[in-house]
Structure 1
Amino acid sequence: MTKAYQATSVRAVVENGLCIGCGLCEALAPERWVMRMTAQGRLRPAPRVKEDPQADAPILAACPGVVAEAEARGASSDPIWGSYMQMHEAWAGDPDLRFKAATGGALTALGVHLLSSGKAAFILHCGADPAQPMRSRWVISETPEAVRANAGSRYGPTDTLAGLEVALARGQPFAIIAKPCDAGAVKARAKSDSRLDALLVALLVMVCGGASDLGKSEAVLRELALTEDDVTLFRYRGYGNPGPTRIEARDGRCFEKTYNEMWADEAGWRIQTRCKLCPDAIGEAADVAAADIWPDANPQGEDEGFNGVITRTPAGQALVDAAIAAGDLVKGQVHNPRDYDHFQPHQVRKKHAIASRLRGLTSAERPVFAHKGLRIEELDAKDIKEEQGAEARARAGRFDDEVPNP
């Protein structure tokens, strides 16, 4: 039987489809790596100089394409949903924020609370690029107003961690709002960078259905006979729950698609390979994870906006409690893990399928990430079709990716 192994260079991570474009390469070695968009619409690290895997060892030690870990830090535990303190419904206490932000605005509300209470000096997160509104960029928000301005989901490539070193260099307490895989990279990096334990006051994530490449958005523009240069606004979610995707053009035209019109056809999602292999899309490495809580993951029209909030750590629980006490967050009904099985059935299926998919990659003699604390073996469905499918796709080159030019 072929033995599993991990990628030993940044190039190998990318070329084998294990890169999610988190931006950690650029943060840790900006003299060697810079994030660039590929022809396939994916943010990937491009080498500035001759590649040196030995020099890149600190990157590889925390790269989500090489390692994925979670530590049980909550009072309760569930085989599917992992370690947690509490699970409950919540939404932003500010009605305007609740309406404009994605779902119920819980993550934005927590960011606002951290700044307005003085617990954090700034938030590292992502927002629309003003010059190219269909795309996203990492941002540092120092005021509640700036956090609000960047509210809303970004369904496409995001390299939030490219700003990590800039954030740490400030020497001030801060929080991160990002993807679950980003949170895993931050926790792995903290093992060798004590500044993270000293300065990072909260690690907040959304429960993630997968990050699409830019091709999904480009397809929408083609359908509307627009080019990216025509676009002045590309809002993926918000202004309701789930809210429409809204596109505004320079000539004054506006276009909207409902959530189901945008996302009903899963075959067109253009989800990146690493997401299909993700062992932790539910934010087990974070302090707080916020989820959509539609029955069977399908919104039945618009509503006021309700998040499911999973507090993962005592620090995350204390933050949520303080935000509720301050009126920045409103707590709704209590949930349990089986509720989340119903809200997010695709996450349950993925947790059971990951071991088979990784075996398929190993059989195809492809690298896989090391993993710990995510119960992958315990949840192994031993699905031979999943295993054979992953092996066949890998051998056919369907997981292959490219390292862009700088």
Structure 2
Amino acid sequence: MISEATPPVTLRAVVENGLCIGCGLCAALAPERWAMRMTDEGRLRPAPLTAENHDADAMILAACPGAVVEAEPRGTQSDPVWGSFTHMGEAWAGDADIRYRAATGGVLTALGVHLLRSGQARFILHCGADPERPMRSRWQISETPEQVLDRAGSRYGPSDTLAGIEAALARNEPFAVIAKPCDANALRARAKADPRLDRLMVAVLVMVCGGASDLGKSQAVLEELGLREEEVTLFRYRGHGNPGPTRIETRSGEAFEKTYLDMWADEAGWRIQSRCKICPDAIGEAADIAAADIWPGGAPMGEDEGFNGVITRSPAGQALLESAVAAGDLVLGRAHSPRDYDDFQPHQVAKKHSVAARLRGLASAGQPVFAHRGLRIDALDAGDAAQEEGTCARAKAGKFRETLPEAD
């Protein structure tokens, strides 16, 4: 069993052992000690601003998704692979413009817009394109439906949405978060020590995640086109159709597009960060609602109108879904079963069954592994010796090793 593996005991150990995903929580909780910086490998990582204080950082480690990952069952149904849920089904944005412009069927954007229009939230904390460097992402606070839509669309690459969580809490207003599943894990863990989160955070919305790429994935696209990042005025990864093209525009007026399959068909070129390869919860079990791509077989066959899968994980998530449908902001299609999602997301099923072996491989190589609870890692263990041995070999070869960036 992997349950007895040793978790990292410092933030430095999280980063150096490839367990960091760059969520930004440390920079939010201790801005005087940590700041997010881009590494040479194209990853957002915390840079120490002062001499490291491991005792003071204990509060960060208690919620860091590189140190602990947990989920509580809050739905009315349960599945060994897909966890706790109340509803699984097809959905899309009721607004045709949102459905077209946002990623897939626009469910997360539509929910964000609905929360603002209905007054359930005063703002949304999420990420969007950096206006100065649109290939990169940064955390944003959107106060209007128009701002949410302007920032719609998937952002493949590093994102530190939780670097904005203290700024959000300081407003003392109800808000929602749209982020990655690992960010949701961190928020739930942090809520145990900070009651403001349960009081003010009305919803945590996530995408079912295939992994966060290094920025190098996007840089490789520019190199292929003979462009420099300074020339780019738009870098849209998804949207304007389903799945929609990756579109790049430049200061000189040029435009380039790559289809979704051209961009992502070769999994070997995804440049997924190390933490994602051992992720025990890429399906959003700690969220209120998770939205997913629902292409049969796991890949699109062409463009369509835009359809999401939607999974409600909590009473709050189910209530939000029903509220959005009643308002016409969301449209429900046919219901799904967990076995439908096995077909839509086969790589998630494979990861759920292989993560225990990968974590054992890390532990066998002498590396720390995050603590975990409620994610059925041991129960889903397929006992894949090849995965265990391969991960151990990669770890011993230094494939998981990283270096903390230096502060400016």
Counterpart for residue 297 of structure 1: 298
Q: How far has the Cα of 1:296 moved from its partner?
A: 1.1
Residue 159 (structure 2) pairs with residue 158 (structure 1): yes
Q: How far has the Cα of 1:366 moved from its partner?
A: 0.1
Which amino acid is 1:69 matched to?
Answer: E
Counterpart for residue 28 of structure 2: 27
SS in 2 for 1:310: strand
Q: How far has the Cα of 1:401 moved from its partner?
A: 1.2
Counterpart for residue 195 of structure 2: 194
Structure 2 CA distance, aligned partners of 1:313 and 1:5? Answer: 30
Which amino acid is 1:180 matched to?
Answer: P
Structure 2 CA distance, aligned partners of 1:165 and 1:297? Answer: 37
Structure 2 CA distance, aligned partners of 1:335 and 1:53? Answer: 46
SS in 2 for 1:232: strand
Counterpart for residue 182 of structure 1: 183
SS in 1 for 2:403: coil
Residue 393 (structure 2) pairs with residue 386 (structure 1): no
Which amino acid is 2:301 matched to?
Answer: Q
Counterpart for residue 333 of structure 1: 334
Cα offsets for 1:119-159 (capped at 9, x unmatched):
00000000000100000000000011110111000000000
Structure 2 CA distance, aligned partners of 1:296 and 1:24? Answer: 35
Cα offsets for 1:35-82 (capped at 9, x unmatched):
000000000000000001110001000000000000000000000000
Counterpart for residue 268 of structure 1: 269
Q: How far has the Cα of 1:238 moved from its partner?
A: 0.1
Counterpart for residue 131 of structure 2: 130
The residue correspondences of 1:5-404 to structure 2 (distance < 5 A) are 5-404=6-405
Structure 2 CA distance, aligned partners of 1:145 and 1:250? Answer: 25
Structure 2 CA distance, aligned partners of 1:53 and 1:278? Answer: 25
Q: How far has the Cα of 1:313 moved from its partner?
A: 0.5
Cα offsets for 1:227-266 (capped at 9, x unmatched):
1001000000000000000000111110000000000111
SS in 1 for 2:141: strand
Cα offsets for 1:158-181 (capped at 9, x unmatched):
000000000001100000000000
Structure 2 CA distance, aligned partners of 1:252 and 1:402? Answer: 39
4+ residue segments displaced more than 2 Å:
none
Alignment root-mean-square deviation, CA:
0.9
Identity in percent: 72
Structure 2 CA distance, aligned partners of 1:359 and 1:298? Answer: 30
Q: Gaps spanning 5+ residues in structure 1: where?
A: none
Structure 1 CA distance, aligned partners of 2:297 and 2:393? Answer: 30
Q: How far has the Cα of 1:4 moved from its partner?
A: 1.8
Which amino acid is 2:206 matched to?
Answer: V
Structure 1 CA distance, aligned partners of 2:5 and 2:377? Answer: 14
Q: How far has the Cα of 1:303 moved from its partner?
A: 0.1
SS in 2 for 1:151: coil
Cα offsets for 1:332-387 (capped at 9, x unmatched):
00001000000000000000000000000000000000110000000000100000
Structure 1 CA distance, aligned partners of 2:253 and 2:383? Answer: 54
Structure 2 CA distance, aligned partners of 1:62 and 1:337? Answer: 29
The TM-score with structure 1 as length reference comes to: 0.99
Q: How far has the Cα of 1:297 moved from its partner?
A: 1.0
Which amino acid is 2:275 matched to?
Answer: R
Q: Gaps spanning 5+ residues in structure 2: where?
A: none
Which amino acid is 2:95 matched to?
Answer: D
SS in 2 for 1:217: helix
SS in 1 for 2:136: strand
SS in 1 for 2:368: coil
Structure 2 CA distance, aligned partners of 1:100 and 1:320? Answer: 21
SS in 1 for 2:248: strand
Structure 2 CA distance, aligned partners of 1:175 and 1:142? Answer: 11
Structure 2 CA distance, aligned partners of 1:96 and 1:71? Answer: 35
The TM-score with structure 2 as length reference comes to: 0.99
Structure 2 CA distance, aligned partners of 1:400 and 1:220? Answer: 26
